[in-house]
Structure 1
């Protein structure tokens, strides 16, 4: 069975590897890495709206994109997201992911 890719982890890790100033820790929780990436974006011109959904996702344990929930989706075949909720959550994370890859 193929393990699904965690989109928040992938986006944060790939984007922060582009920015040495971000100083993303090699070891640490995904939540701390997302917060570090969001803080770096804010310091470098991103709006609060761009990073809000990502910060809420990692700080609210009941969020669809909380770290615990993402782990459950990946490691528990009986735990699945509701399609409409997943689409909304993904749309909410769009500005954060776009800001990670924005040139400039």
Structure 2
């Protein structure tokens, strides 16, 4: 019979622990191949992927719902893997939503 060692929380968010299983080197290789970060100053493709994965894994129904869910975690963006400039993402998305809403009114 196999004995499994219990894994305890190491002071990290569950989302961050799940992300550790992603092949980041392969992702970075693809980003470099297709020049995904060519004109990026702060919010990289990896940060964008982390935010979108967070939304997917937390069953968000849309961007507004994602913003409402992520906003309380602003102080923990770096620890969640969103990068130090995760607030930039929120700003861009909110601006797009406001622009779209004004176009429909």
The answer to whether the superposition gives a TM-score over 0.5 is no
- TM-score band, normalised by the shorter chain? under 0.3
Instruction: Give the greater-gyration-radius structure (CA).
Output: 2
TM-score (norm 2): 0.25
